[in-house]
């Protein structure tokens, strides 16, 4: 059973999400909140698998709530999915840096929302390769202050190469083909890089790679 928390200041949106999710046998809604602060409190009380969090809310924004959830060791298994009306904007980048697993547009088709929840619950980044490539384009057009994430110096050459390929938007299968290794080996390298960098998922690994200068804009090799 996938346990979901809904955090959105619009009652109509919460009702719509509840109606959709309640119909699924493998999804349980553990709570609803109308502001970020209440969302964080409910997350700490219920430790959901997935928190659907709106970007702009009163009392505490979705980004601030995401940062608090991601920083709480007790919520390490909670994956935040940001809900936005605006697509790839500055809010999304801030949310990814704060520790969000990914993002969804509020006009996403119901089937895509359900799939996204299941993907996030598995611990996978909610960023398909195509979305990652779009993210990269937008991310580098407004680069943040450059800094290196702790742990980059401990990456092996293989792990650095894999992290760079993830940041280019490649899947594990594509990484394996590019490096002439097995998909399982590629997955292992990705996992080790994430552990060393403290990245919650592939989305945050992409952010760390660009902020640290491991990769720069350009096509995937």
**Per-residue pLDDT reduced to its tens digit, 21-48:** 999 999 999 999 999 999 999 999 999 9
Q: What is the DSSP letter of 210?
A: H
User: Is 116 a residue whose pLDDT tops 90?
Assistant: no
Sheet holding 50-54, edge to edge: 27-33, 2-7, 50-54, 79-84, 102-105
pLDDT-derived band at 146, boundaries 50, 70, 90: low
pLDDT of residue 220: 41
Query: 90-98 and 129-141 are packed helices; what angle lies between their axes, rounded to 10 degrees?
Result: 110
- The H helix count followed by the E strand count for the chain is 10, 5
The listed range with the strongest mean pLDDT (79-93, 101-115, 128-142, 145-159) is 101-115
Q: What is the DSSP letter of 149?
A: P
User: Is 55 a residue whose pLDDT tops 60?
Assistant: yes
* CA–centroid distance for 162 within its chain: 18
Q: Give the integer Cα–Cα distance in Å for 137 and 216.
A: 10
Q: Give the integer Cα–Cα distance in Å for 58 and 181.
A: 49
pTM: 0.70
Q: Where are the beta strands (DSSP E) in the chain?
A: 2-7, 27-33, 50-54, 79-84, 102-105
Average pLDDT over residues 142-169: 76
């Amino acid at each position: 059973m996938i346990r979901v928390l809904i955090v959105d200041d619009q009652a109509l949106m919460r009702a719509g999400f509840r109606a959709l999710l309640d119909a699924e046998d493998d999804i349980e809604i553990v709570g609803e909140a109308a502001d970020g602060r209440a969302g964080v409190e409910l997350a700490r009380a219920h430790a959901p698998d997935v928190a659907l969090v709106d970007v702009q809310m009163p009392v505490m924004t979705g980004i601030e709530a995401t940062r608090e959830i991601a920083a709480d060791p007790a919520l390490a298994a909670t994956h935040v999915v940001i809900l936005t009306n605006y697509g790839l904007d500055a809010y999304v980048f801030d949310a990814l840096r704060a520790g969000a697993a990914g993002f969804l547009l509020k006009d996403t088709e119901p089937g895509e929302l359900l799939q996204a929840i299941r993907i996030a619950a598995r611990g996978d980044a909610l960023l398909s390769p195509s979305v990652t490539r779009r993210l990269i384009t937008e991310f580098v057009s407004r680069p943040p202050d450059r800094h290196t994430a702790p742990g980059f110096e401990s990456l092996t050459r293989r792990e650095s190469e894999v992290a760079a390929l993830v940041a280019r938007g490649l899947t594990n299968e594509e990484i394996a083909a590019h490096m002439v290794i097995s998909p399982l080996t590629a997955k292992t390298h990705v996992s080790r890089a994430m552990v060393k960098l403290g990245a919650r998922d592939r989305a945050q690994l992409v952010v760390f790679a660009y902020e640290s200068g491991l990769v720069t804009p350009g096509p995937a090799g």
